[in-house]
Amino acid sequence: MLIPVLYMAQEMTVRLGIVTGKGHGQLIRERFGPRWADLSATTLLVSAVGALLTEFSVSPRWGSCSGSRSG
């Protein structure tokens, strides 16, 4: 369900960049001001760091996956 929404957001951002010749952050700063541009950049940074943490995190093994029971 989320992939079509993400695709449309990416597509609209690319089209805006092509038409205006400006980046997404620059357009936000011009239209809404520096606070909203900073918020947009911060949420992008947080999501990128979160993606990296989940990609490279190592989960502890809570037991064997062999299916054998002791006892």
- What does the pLDDT look like over 40-61, one tens digit per residue? 999 999 999 998 998 887 766 6
Between these two residues, 54 and 34, which has the higher pLDDT value? 34
3-state secondary structure of 21: coil
pLDDT at 57 (0 to 100): 79
Give the pTM.
Answer: 0.64
Give the DSSP letter of residue 66.
Answer: S
Domain map of the chain by residue range? 11-49
